Amino acid sequence: MRIIKKETDYALRALYFIHEKGGKAAVSQIYSQIKAPRPFLRKIFRMLALSGILISKKGKNGGFEFKKPFNSITLADINEIFDEMTPLGGCPFKNRICSNFRSCALKGKIRAIEQETYQRLKRTYIKDMWD
Amino acid sequence: MRIIKKETDYALRALYFIHEKGGKAAVSQIYSQIKAPRPFLRKIFRMLALSGILISKKGKNGGFEFKKPFNSITLADINEIFDEMTPLGGCPFKNRICSNFRSCALKGKIRAIEQETYQRLKRTYIKDMWD
DNA sequence: TTAAATGATATCAAAAAAGTATCATTATTT
DNA sequence: AAATAATGATACTTTTTTGATATCATTTAA
């Protein structure tokens, strides 16, 4: 079972770091602190910006700052940027849908469990993850 | 998020099929019914036998039958054969443990969520998954 | 004008998951 | 005894996903 991806892990650490630094930082200041590869973290940050978690400032002295308040960000907010949930009525094995899709009783049960876990992520605020 | 692997999925369908067939069947009778590749299902069945879920009978007219009663088998029983949980105190990214393992606050939180999901699997009896 | 930041995108590499192939062993049937 | 049909064991291959790079364009402040 894989709850989160490495991208989510890096994103969480990076967001926490920015928060501690007063709410703004550039990738060059962060990546070594959280042991993330610079170009990978850059990609992650672009997605965080596209998703409305951060605002990016280009140019010298640029960087990223929070758009969504740090205290309001949940683990689900970050996770869903990097990992898709099975849609309602969908099969958890997107690419390997078998021919009994219609009558398949399992997919709904598995998805329900996935959704319960997702609800748990929704209740987890990242600000509390370092307590 | 990936709750179960395809191996678990096939195993569930196969066990249900055996149950419907009266409690005993050979791989050759099952694989086409559940749309699983024969050699893959064979490998899966060997693991189910090694794990004490099934008993195997070799030779002509051989096959597999339940060792553990069908009604007592949970989703967790099957899942844990094919997918390992993060151990207590361990890192969910086994292969990419960073240098701040000791002080890492995240790994415990993520594992706790994983464990909650696992507890849910433990409460799910496979006999009920076709209701 | 230069330096230092992000935007965008294409590509690559490593790991995990899914699936195959093959030969050995065992038991039943003929 | 021989043929058949099942599992045991194991090594290998392929496909998919995840993690990571590389590169060039654009923007902005000093």
Number of domains in chain A: 1
Q: Which residue in A3, A81, A103, A127 has the most chain B C-beta atoms within 10 A of its own C-beta, making it the best mutation to test that interface?
A: A3
SS3 A64: strand
Nearest of B53, B51, B71, B54 to residue B62 by alpha carbon: B54
B127 pLDDT band, cuts 50/70/90, is very high
CB neighbours of A88 closer than 8 A, spacing ≥ 6?
A111
- Domain-located, residue B33: yes
pLDDT given at position A100: 85
- Residues in chain A with CB shorter than 8 Å from the CB of B105 are 129-131
Nearest to A4 among B79, B110, B129 (CB): B110
- The 10s digit of each residue's pLDDT in B18-53 is 999 999 999 999 999 999 999 999 999 999 999 999
- The 10s digit of each residue's pLDDT in A20-45 is 999 999 999 999 999 999 999 999 99
Residue in A closest to B114 by C-alpha: A3
A94 touches strand D (CB under 7 A): yes
CATH number assigned to the domain comprising residue A124: 1.10.10.10
- Domain-located, residue A1: no
- Domain-located, residue B57: yes
pLDDT given at position A112: 97
pLDDT given at position B53: 98
- Domain-located, residue B1: no
Residue B60 (CA) to nucleotide D17 (C1'), in angstroms, measures: 41
Whole domain around residue B113: which residue ranges? 6-130
Nearest of B14, B49, B11 to residue B28 by alpha carbon: B14
Res A48 pLDDT > 80: yes
pLDDT given at position B86: 96
B59 touches strand D (CB under 7 A): yes
Which tops the pLDDT comparison, A13 or B101? A13
Partner A contacted by B98 (CB < 8 A): yes
- The 10s digit of each residue's pLDDT in A74-116 is 999 999 999 999 999 999 998 887 888 888 999 999 999 999 9
Share of chain A above pLDDT 90, in %: 92
Residue A106 (CA) to nucleotide C17 (C1'), in angstroms, measures: 20
- Domain-located, residue A97: yes
pLDDT given at position B79: 98
Give the mean pLDDT of chain A: 96
Share of chain A above pLDDT 70, in %: 100
Q: Which long-range contacts (CB under 8 A, 24 or more apart) does B40-43 make?
A: B40/B7, B40/B10, B41/B10, B41/B14
Residue B59 (CA) to nucleotide D2 (C1'), in angstroms, measures: 15
- The 10s digit of each residue's pLDDT in B43-82 is 999 999 999 999 999 999 999 999 999 999 999 999 999 9
